[in-house]
Amino acid sequence: MEIEVSTCADTSRDPQAPVTMIDVARGVSERPAMRYSSRATGVAIALLLAGCARSASKQVGPLAPPFEAPAVWGSLEPDAYAVRLDTLMRRAPVKEGWAVAGRPVQITIWSPADARGTLLTYRDYIALTANQASLAPATAAGSAAAIDRLTRFVTSNGSSAAAVEQWLEMPVAASWNAPRARGRFPIVVIAQGNYHSAYNQAVLGEYLASHGYVVATSPSPLVLEESPDSLSVLTRARRQAADIEYIVDVMRQRPDVDPTRIAVVAHSFGARAAFVAAADGTPFRAFVSLDGGIANKLGNDWLAGTALDTASLAIPLLHVYQDRDSTVLPDFTAIRRWHHADRTLVHIDEMYHPYFTALGFVAAVDTALHVGPPVADLGTKVGGVVELTAAFLDAVLRRGETAPVLALGRKPPFATERLPVGD
């Protein structure tokens, strides 16, 4: 089954356990055990940034490219393209031993466009979460109930209802029905952190598309299905890796992509899944880890007793990280074993794990929403993460560099360590 544009489905299930704003932002991605229902938690997370919304019915934007970046982008600037948004609703085939046949995979795609189409807001992005598990048609009742729960959930953490509404009404760069740009563009797959969906990396997806990449992502499996606490980290990673591999297969069939130039950008737990997909032969030419679990002290023994080893990879790696968040402290053992490729490690001073998502951009422009610890110059830091990612992808995928030098990574609040091949 394939549906091009998704709208809201019923999200009327209530969370059955308390979840803090910071827990939701982190995606509880790197914690060793889940104390509450995965499905209920997925609902809470869908509610954090939006609560399902009205379908897109706004006017078509007359200008672009270039277009004026939305306020939520901060200092980021688009390049030559407007941004088209599409959503495919698919049932994926079996991946033996990893994932069952018929599982839902909602593929959200940002791609280069020649002009803007139907303008969108964050409310429209979050509408995609309503039917990501069921792939069912939208319902107005589900939308209304979700918005109400969102307001109650976020205001219970100290934000005002007015601030929540302002958040939902923030314009975004992507638009439905935008005319596709001609050409063949590199593919970037975004591997989400646990419990995260497309909106969690919306700014990154939009920015890369405006710079000439076709970007695809799918929700974390933990928002789609029950996941017993007894499952190992590797089992969970394989489940998500199966979806990553399926997305790559789908995207390589598009006429507007170059199937030989593929990269993965992975946040939090998604980096573990991306590693598993890479080790399974997925032809990534570049790997970006955004505070990824491959370098997390918690659960760093997840490959013990298996044949999987980061030393098997020869893919250039960029790892951007923080060291303030107690649940995601750095451990570079696996990255140091990744010695058949050049590795670039970029540390961000005074940064926290939740802000390696679009949540960081929202928090930087709307301080009335209490979504995490205060961070000085947050806009510069979150914007830098996206710019570093784009610069690394440009160097590897467009210019064929294997040891890219990232000038931004050498300027405060960033600090870079290079690990050359063989080190």
- Tell which residue, 276, 278, 273, has the closest CA to residue 262: 278
The share of the chain scoring above pLDDT 90, in percent, equals 66
Rounded Cα distance, 389 and 286, in Å: 10
DSSP state of 395: I
DSSP state of 357: S
| Domain positions in the chain | 21-419
At 70-80, the pLDDT tens digits run 999 999 999 99
326 phi, psi to nearest 5 deg = -65, -20
Q: Provide the whole-model pTM.
A: 0.86
Min mean pLDDT across 196-205, 260-269, 359-368 is at 359-368
CA quadruple 354, 355, 359, 365: dihedral sign: positive
pLDDT band at 156 (very low <50, low <70, confident <90, very high): confident
pLDDT band at 223 (very low <50, low <70, confident <90, very high): confident
Look over the chain and give the mean of its residue pLDDT values, rounded to a whole number: 84
15 alpha-carbon distance from chain centroid: 23
Rounded Cα distance, 280 and 314, in Å: 13
Min mean pLDDT across 5-9, 157-161, 315-319, 358-362 is at 5-9
- What lies within 8 Å, CB to CB, of 96 at 6+ separation is none
pLDDT band at 146 (very low <50, low <70, confident <90, very high): low
Helix (H, G, I), strand (E, B) or coil at 111: strand
- Tell which residue, 124, 138, 126, has the closest CA to residue 177: 124
Residue 153: what pLDDT?
67
CATH superfamily, with its number, for domain 21-419: Alpha/Beta hydrolase fold, catalytic domain (3.40.50.1820)
HSE-up of 186 (CA within 13 Å, CB side)?
A: 26
Which strands make up the sheet holding 414-419, listed edge to edge?
118-121, 171-176, 82-92, 103-113, 214-217, 185-191, 257-267, 286-290, 317-321, 343-348, 414-419
Burial of 17 (0-12, 13-18, 19+ CB in 10 A): exposed
CB 184 within 8 A of CB 258: yes
Residue 422: what pLDDT?
94
At 388-398, the pLDDT tens digits run 999 999 999 99
pLDDT at 385 over 60: yes
DSSP state of 192: P
Query: What count of residues does the chain have?
Result: 423
DSSP state of 397: I
